[in-house]
Amino acid sequence: MSGRSEFAAIVWQGRPVHVEYQWIAPERDTAPLVVFLHEGLGSVAMWRDFPQRLCDAGGLRGLVLSRPGYGRSTPRAPDETWGVDFMHRQAREVLPAFLDALDIEESPWLFGHSDGASIALLYASMFPHKVGGLVVLAPHIFVEDMTIRSIVIARDAYEHTDLRKKLSRYHDDPDSAFGGWSRIWLDPAFRTWSIEAELAHVRAPVLAVQGLDDEYGTLAQVHGIAAVVSGARVLQLPHCGHSPHRDCADVVIAQSVAFMHRHAHGGQSGR
């Protein structure tokens, strides 16, 4: 992302925080809106040019945000720890507060990656009439052993390599971003985390995308969505890891735009 970041003020964890965001093509005021939700180590900047490319290909508007603790948003407080329900709270509290702060009344599409994909699914289950549809890349609906192994490897790299320096390009406080994500995922209590029951409440169309070489999850994640969500479509991508929007950007853009247009809701208003 190369545009100018703005900041929305919300209350989170009992204190005021600022949420970084960028608009894409706001002049397309009658076009469907797509809200981009990043992964566990992501931010506005870490999406790079993908949201712009997708919106241009589909004639869409986009809204990209960094969740609290990430990017240029307010970092975690020194004593702030996330519970097993942290993604539920992001969907139930943070995302609605952010959309309200920007006076968004329409039902946007949600485009989520990894943790952001799980948050998108949770939001759609909690507010089924407030979402036009979902595209979820490498979603987590339960915890797999390989996910934990890969996060342990990432933690070791953060502690012993230049990973922290690399992440500082995308986060004002990389310790806030990495610590919040890794600490809860590696907490033994998190091993029983699951959103499989919540999926039964999703009514919006879902395109679930999984790379066959994903080191953080298997096809069981997207097949689990398809087994519960009526009409969900699964897209399996060979030679693709945990970031389909980087590894297979052209295919993801083409398939996502086609899916959105197929399920477009008429009469969406502008912001």
What would the pLDDT profile of 36-79 be if each residue is shown by its tens digit? 999 999 999 999 999 999 999 999 999 999 999 999 999 998 88
Q: Find the mean pLDDT for residues 157-170.
A: 98
In a domain, 98, yes or no: yes
In a domain, 19, yes or no: yes
In a domain, 162, yes or no: yes
Q: Find the mean pLDDT for residues 104-132.
A: 97
pLDDT band for position 266 (cuts 50, 70, 90): very low
What confidence score (pLDDT) does residue 1 get?
Answer: 57
Strand pairing category for 61-66 and 109-113: unpaired
- Asked whether the predicted pLDDT for residue 265 surpasses 90, the reply is no
Q: Find the mean pLDDT for residues 180-186.
A: 97
Q: DSSP assignment of 142-203, as one string?
A: B--HHHHHHHHHHHHHHHHSTHHHHHTTT-S-HHHHHHHHHHHHTSGGGGG-B-TTGGGG--
Identify the CATH number of the domain in which residue 130 sits.
3.40.50.1820
In a domain, 229, yes or no: yes
pLDDT band for position 268 (cuts 50, 70, 90): very low
Whose CA is closest to 94, among 166, 171, 180, 168? 180
- Asked whether the predicted pLDDT for residue 101 surpasses 60, the reply is yes
State which residues form the domain around 208: 6-262
In a domain, 109, yes or no: yes
In a domain, 270, yes or no: no
pLDDT band for position 2 (cuts 50, 70, 90): low
In the chain, the amino acid numbered 60 is L
Least confident range from 1-10, 60-69, 180-189: namely 1-10
Count of domains in the chain?
Answer: 1
What's the rounded Cα separation, in Å, for the pair 17 and 8? 8
In a domain, 269, yes or no: no
In a domain, 271, yes or no: no
Q: Find the mean pLDDT for residues 227-237.
A: 96
